[in-house]
Structure 1
Amino acid sequence: MDLTKLFGCRVFGDAAMREHLSREVYESLRRTREAGLPLDPSIAQAVAEGMKDWAIAQGATHYTHWFQPLTNITAGKHDAFIEPDGEGGMMLEFSSKALIKGEPDASSFPSGGLRATFEARGYTTWDPTSPAFVKDGTLYIPTAFCSYGGEALDQKTPLLRSMQAVGSEGVRLLHLLGEESVSYVIPTVGAEQEYFLIDRALYEQRLDLKICGRTLIGAKPPKGQELDDHYCGRIRLRVSDFMHALDEELWSLGVPAKTKHNEAAPAQHELAPVYDQANIACDHNQLTMEMMRVVAKRKNLACLLHEKPFAGINGSGKHNNYSLVTDTGKNLLSPSGDPVRNRRFLLLAAAFVQVVDEYGDLLRASAACAGNDQRLGGCEAPPPVISVFLGEALTRTLFSFADGGGCPEEHRQLLKTGVDALPELVKDDSDRNRTSPFAFTGNKFEFRMPGASQSIALTNVVLNTALADVFSGFSDRLERAADRDAEICALISEVMQKHGRIIYNGNNYSEAWVQEARRRGLPIIPSTVEAFDCLVAPKNIALFARHGVFTEAECISRHEILLENYVKVVGIEAATLIEMVRRQVYPAVVRYTGEIAETVNRMRTAGAAAVSTVRLLDTLTALVDQIDSELGALRDAYARSQSIEDVHAHAEFMRSDIRLCMESLRAACDAAETIMDGTCWPMPTYTDLLLRV
């Protein structure tokens, strides 16, 4: 297999465009794709014709406007290329209008009050900055999705708006720093994706996995991840076969899947791509999640993307690796050979410190979802306290500026292994901190809080917009300054004095840090419901409005959509747990209790009743009553929840009362599982699910 020919073979990328478009059309479209310049409408028909010819040659019979509604998954309706020719036959057509504009039913997707049910018209519009591709006989055209009034109903539109904002403000700042040759600045992202793989036949036997994506019942297995023997260990044959097939699918779709390995928990794995523009990276991550599920099913496996599929072992996240690049090929977060004297780099590092301190609540909101509540703060993922890790060397340098002491000399050291045959290595400036939610890792910042099932769009909307705002403030100061070099030092100093409290290079999992964060006045946002409220804080609405990313109405609508989604997710979990216990667990425990009772009676008749058997019967009898009682409590609470009309109060009730009832019911069921005959338990156990792959 020639990987160079496989990669992007199903993408209408640079090579395909050169072949199917004229030079003039190609150059015009390339400028739009790379620099975000307005699309020349006169080239649309030529692009549509070239795209159609290429897609048909790839085996496509249909096309679809592929968009990302506020559901964390993608959508699109599929239309055939065929049109009647008026003579009883058909011809293949694809017009510029069909390329540029679609009209899905906007009332059928979450709008948070932006659209009434009877106001159905919405528009999808071609995103020429993200390449089209062919999958399953359909030409997929990446598009934005807006309402009839122009409000964003999707993930892509605000992401593109925010990229435009940080791009323009980034260019403005770089020009003031003497880099006039820079024409545009683009945020780049690499999204590491964690996931679980389990046997498909076992998955089909678990109602909770099929409906909720996570286990609602399940006792701790004898062996989980205690021995640390799974992380980066030998990849099992079935998993390796899956990974190989997934790589080929993703490579053919132009997704630069780079790294694959076992993660910390049994049956958990990770895929990491090469960086790309934030918009394309978001599209690619959606494709990756979709293809993971599809390929897993082909291989008789099930891919779980929930943040916490199994209690008691690590859940799955998605690390958002973020940087900024220019058209001149510079990564703005790469220190120079002498980073302490690289004032542009230090100024940008200070900008990120200010962003996280001022808008850490928005970053927390961007990583909030019902599944992530099960994961964050569990000593497997960052805690619900936002902080920045810079490493000791960079922290010393920035605080030295703040204290007026200039730049301390930093010298990299060699790594000494004590083995003569091993080559010498130059150590990095600092160690890694895997507990930090927002860490500088050499040439990028890594935001580690997003959940595995989430779109990365909102996280990058927040980063782009907040950076645009800070850059704008820096530029305003530099434009007024008589001595720009002195003003750069003053800016770094002021940022560190005001916002340096957000820097923490220690163990974020420790209780001591929570207490220290509280002392520093940092926001501690433990749950999703509280995090969502940050989206409608006046300062955050003002931020988005200043840069044209969200209107106030769009912020309010997203707040409502996210709360409604939380309510529905937790409600579905509660209803699923009720059904599983009522129809599977409770009957199984009653039957087994009856069998033990019969055994005890027979033993008593024979005059040989064992104390341990009687004790087991007493325990089971108590558990039968406890399960019944806890089931009744959950059913009553769920019934009460259905009458709560205010969405915020409803979400609060689901977070507190419903989740608490679910945990109590689960504890009783899990206790029964640990003492019942394994052949009598009505569903696959954790040991079955985690080890049978």
Structure 2
Amino acid sequence: MEASKLTEEFGCLVFNDKVMRERLPKDTYKAVHKTIEKGTHLELDVANCVAATMKEWAIENGATHFTHWFQPMTGLTAEKHDSFISPCENGTIIMEFSGKELVKGEPDASSFPSGGLRATFEARGYTAWDPSSPAFIKDGSLYIPTAFCSYGGEALDKKTPLLRSMEALSQEAVKVLHALGYKDVQRVNTTIGSEQEYFLIDKEYYKKRKDLLFTGRTLIGAPATKGQEMEDHYFGVIKPKVSAYMHDLDEELWRLGIPAKTKHNEVAPSQHELAPVFETANIAVDHNQLTMEVMKKVADKHNFACLLHEKPFEGINGSGKHNNWSVCTDTGMNLLDPGKNPGENIPFLVFLMAVIAAVDEYAPILRLSVASAGNDHRLGGNEAPPAIISIFVGDELADLLKSVEEGQAYQSAGKVQMAMGATVLPHFTKDNTDRNRTSPFAFTGNKFEFRMPGSAVSVANANIVLNTAVAEELTRIYEKLESYKGDDQKAFVLSMLQDILSKHKRVLFNGNGYTESWVEEAAKRGLLNLKSLPDAMPYWIKEESVELFTKHHIFTKEELYSRYEILLENYAKSIHIESLTMQEMVRKDLTEGLIAYQNDLSHEAMQKKQLLSASACTMELSLLEKLDAAGTAMQEALEKLAGDTQLAEQKEDGLETAQFYQQTILADMDVLRKYADEAEALIPEKYLSYPTYGQMLFSLR
């Protein structure tokens, strides 16, 4: 796409506000805009008009079908396509699309995860149009973003609770701002920028790896002779083939209205990142789901496989999805921007303290919001944050918070000029905070960067919890503000914030989160170290969690428990599939190569013995002994894993099953991998039916 055409092409496949303004009757456009801005009910005659216009626009752009696009609790997206055609009596067709078809669909709800909300025979479900997220065209179909619920109205998706959490935060934030004197604010929006990390490998190599095909990560594999230790890949020159992929990816995303902004090589070999511009949370989540789909589709065209798993390769960095989160008013005020005088910026101080309190008090469920079988492998090292949740605020905000705690006026150190030692270089001021790559939750200037989400999952979960937790803290702040009847509100607010800080300052930590000393210090502070999903899972259904989500109408108790069951079941199933895949690869693929190499070595040794003395076979015999030892240990570990996996299959309680997979099956897999990798390291590549780490990570040019 030429730069001159970019402004014309951006969003050309999106039924966005510009298209609606141009094509809809003025009254219809106002009604739709009112629904989007204020959440008012959309009348059927308005929906019919929108549907007719949307159909004509879609057909003009090559669409023949439409689909209600939704996000079930699989973590992926779902779609069922229907054509616009309607047969006529004379054997011809007309193209139709009604308001009813736009606003409501009826997919089968029994075949998606429901956590007990729906039985198999209770099949009916509904999809409902979300007008706040624009429709778009992809692969000849009109995609209509929708929410998904059961026949009884229970949320079966991630969009519905996200929208609820956004509304809850907005309502509580507006009340607080009104109490502080900002009466013109009518709505507060949460905004997200989701940095998406991913790996690219040769598609033919991908097809030959059963573990990548079935589980998304490599379950065996000796490390390559080079990894990321030279630190030469991060921000390095992008290889031509990868650059061509990134170029086409940008163009596809731009046509879909996704504001892809930044692209670069990441730390690990064959790892890369794409970062978009900030958007309203709901649209940002939709766009991230769509981005992951498009990444894979474009990769296939370029003969790549795009790996989105959090830890596809051992020994090098995994992939995250850094969730940059902020809150902005409809009047244009970023409530997390300190401004020129943060000590006097009362809205900033109030919202900063609300976030600190929310992250501290609801850390267990915030941790759970990013927990998965894949992400648990990633957290804790190689630039991924630890499982202990803490907040990094930087030196300037640390000083500001110290002044709040001590009840003193804050004296800013002012802007600091960078001195780089060469007069030809430009002068500029330093940011008010450094970056801390080891912090799970870091303040980065005018937003918080939640670094714990994994690359493969929807960021909806993390933002549902974060929005709701902050909404609850704002509720408590508003209740105190409303009860105050004095005439010095500023002093009262600062005193209130001082009290909040004293209760929650334990979560603030600006140091290195990877050290053992921090683990010990965090334990002394009472901060939890929940290393896996089963560790965090009980907190989801604790009384305080149930009260939080039901109070703000994010989840009913039944919806909460359904997600509890689904998360545990998905976790156990993921590791179960990994176990079976690993067993098959070791038993069929690695063992075959091991035996073939041993046979050739034995044959070679016997031939040399006939021609030379026995001492001439030292190398072959040494290798045979090592291979035999590795093979024996591998076989024993394989039988242990197989037996324990059968035991896991017999368990019925969800939490107990997940704990067994985490504590026993993963431990068995680690042992088996150790011996499998030792054997693989001894075997030449020609004996292996699958590509090695070196081939996969360093083959792209």
Judge same fold: TM > 0.5, yes or no: yes
* Match in the other structure for 2:653: 646
* Match in the other structure for 1:519: 524
Structure 1 unpaired stretches of 5+ = none
Q: Please, which of 685, 692, 696 is the counterpart of residue 689 of structure 1?
A: 696
CA offsets per residue over residues 235-273 of structure 1, 9 Å max, x none?
001100100000000000010000000000000000000
Q: Tell me if the contact between 2:387 and 2:530 (Cα under 8 Å) persists in the aligned partners.
A: yes
Q: Please, which of 622, 634, 637 is the counterpart of residue 615 of structure 1?
A: 622
What is the deviation of 1:41? 4.0
Q: Tell me if the contact between 2:51 and 2:102 (Cα under 8 Å) persists in the aligned partners.
A: yes
- The 5 A counterparts of 1:204-603 are 204-483=207-486, 484-603=489-608
Partner amino acid, structure 2, of 1:327: D
CA offsets per residue over residues 470-489 of structure 1, 9 Å max, x none?
11111111011123212211
Partner amino acid, structure 1, of 2:78: A
Q: Distance in 2 between matches of 1:52 and 1:611?
A: 77
SS of the residue corresponding to residue 8 of structure 2 reads helix
Q: Tell me if the contact between 1:501 and 1:520 (Cα under 8 Å) persists in the aligned partners.
A: yes
Label 1:100 to 1:551 Cα distance change in 2 as closer, same or farther (>3 A).
same
Moved more, 484-493 or 67-76: 484-493
Q: Distance in 2 between matches of 1:117 and 1:397?
A: 56
Q: Tell me if the contact between 2:441 and 2:451 (Cα under 8 Å) persists in the aligned partners.
A: yes
CA offsets per residue over residues 654-692 of structure 1, 9 Å max, x none?
111111111111111111111122221221111100011
Partner amino acid, structure 1, of 2:35: T
Partner amino acid, structure 2, of 1:492: L
Tell me whether 1:150 sits opposite 2:153 in the alignment: yes
Q: Distance in 1 between matches of 2:17 and 2:606?
A: 79
* Misfit runs of 4+, over 6 Å: none
Q: Tell me if the contact between 2:390 and 2:509 (Cα under 8 Å) persists in the aligned partners.
A: yes
Normalised TM-score (structure 2): 0.97
CA offsets per residue over residues 513-536 of structure 1, 9 Å max, x none?
110000001111011111222211
Tell me whether 1:631 sits opposite 2:638 in the alignment: yes
Q: Tell me if the contact between 2:441 and 2:449 (Cα under 8 Å) persists in the aligned partners.
A: yes
Label 1:238 to 1:488 Cα distance change in 2 as closer, same or farther (>3 A).
same
CA offsets per residue over residues 168-220 of structure 1, 9 Å max, x none?
11111111111101111110001000000001111111111111111111111
Q: Tell me if the contact between 2:45 and 2:99 (Cα under 8 Å) persists in the aligned partners.
A: no
Q: Tell me if the contact between 2:136 and 2:256 (Cα under 8 Å) persists in the aligned partners.
A: yes
Tell me whether 1:34 sits opposite 2:41 in the alignment: no
Q: Tell me if the contact between 1:69 and 1:154 (Cα under 8 Å) persists in the aligned partners.
A: yes
* Match in the other structure for 1:93: 96
Partner amino acid, structure 2, of 1:144: A
* Match in the other structure for 2:111: 108
Identity across aligned pairs (percent)?
Answer: 51
Q: How many corresponding residue pairs?
A: 693
Q: Distance in 2 between matches of 1:41 and 1:538?
A: 41
Q: Distance in 2 between matches of 1:319 and 1:270?
A: 11
CA offsets per residue over residues 499-526 of structure 1, 9 Å max, x none?
0110000001111111000000111101
* Match in the other structure for 1:676: 683
SS of the residue corresponding to residue 581 of structure 1 reads helix
User: Root-mean-square deviation (CA), in Å?
Assistant: 1.1
Q: Distance in 1 between matches of 2:526 and 2:228?
A: 36
SS of the residue corresponding to residue 14 of structure 2 reads coil
Q: Distance in 2 between matches of 1:377 and 1:153?
A: 32
Q: Tell me if the contact between 2:685 and 2:691 (Cα under 8 Å) persists in the aligned partners.
A: no
Moved more, 471-480 or 329-338: 329-338
Moved more, 163-172 or 632-641: 632-641
Q: Tell me if the contact between 1:126 and 1:141 (Cα under 8 Å) persists in the aligned partners.
A: yes
SS of the residue corresponding to residue 27 of structure 1 reads helix
Structure 2 unpaired stretches of 5+ = none
Q: Tell me if the contact between 2:336 and 2:447 (Cα under 8 Å) persists in the aligned partners.
A: yes
Q: Tell me if the contact between 1:158 and 1:550 (Cα under 8 Å) persists in the aligned partners.
A: yes
Q: Tell me if the contact between 1:435 and 1:507 (Cα under 8 Å) persists in the aligned partners.
A: yes
Q: Tell me if the contact between 1:66 and 1:75 (Cα under 8 Å) persists in the aligned partners.
A: yes
What is the deviation of 1:632? 1.2
SS of the residue corresponding to residue 193 of structure 2 reads strand
Q: Tell me if the contact between 2:336 and 2:348 (Cα under 8 Å) persists in the aligned partners.
A: yes
Q: Please, which of 61, 65, 81 is the counterpart of residue 64 of structure 2?
A: 61
What is the deviation of 1:136? 0.6
Q: Tell me if the contact between 1:586 and 1:627 (Cα under 8 Å) persists in the aligned partners.
A: no
SS of the residue corresponding to residue 106 of structure 1 reads coil
Q: Distance in 2 between matches of 1:391 and 1:537?
A: 33
Q: Distance in 1 between matches of 2:355 and 2:451?
A: 15
Q: Distance in 1 between matches of 2:492 and 2:42?
A: 39
Q: Tell me if the contact between 1:367 and 1:449 (Cα under 8 Å) persists in the aligned partners.
A: yes
Partner amino acid, structure 1, of 2:329: T
Q: Please, which of 70, 79, 85 is the counterpart of residue 82 of structure 1?
A: 85
CA offsets per residue over residues 365-389 of structure 1, 9 Å max, x none?
0110000111001242000000001
What is the deviation of 1:161? 0.5
Tell me whether 1:661 sits opposite 2:668 in the alignment: yes
Q: Distance in 1 between matches of 2:371 and 2:658?
A: 13
Q: Distance in 2 between matches of 1:309 and 1:175?
A: 48
SS of the residue corresponding to residue 137 of structure 2 reads strand
Q: Tell me if the contact between 2:326 and 2:447 (Cα under 8 Å) persists in the aligned partners.
A: yes
Q: Distance in 2 between matches of 1:384 and 1:286?
A: 25
Q: Distance in 2 between matches of 1:529 and 1:321?
A: 26
Q: Tell me if the contact between 1:593 and 1:620 (Cα under 8 Å) persists in the aligned partners.
A: yes
Moved more, 633-642 or 384-393: 633-642
Q: Tell me if the contact between 1:263 and 1:269 (Cα under 8 Å) persists in the aligned partners.
A: yes
- The 5 A counterparts of 1:113-192 are 113-192=116-195
SS of the residue corresponding to residue 110 of structure 2 reads helix
SS of the residue corresponding to residue 83 of structure 1 reads strand
Partner amino acid, structure 2, of 1:692: S
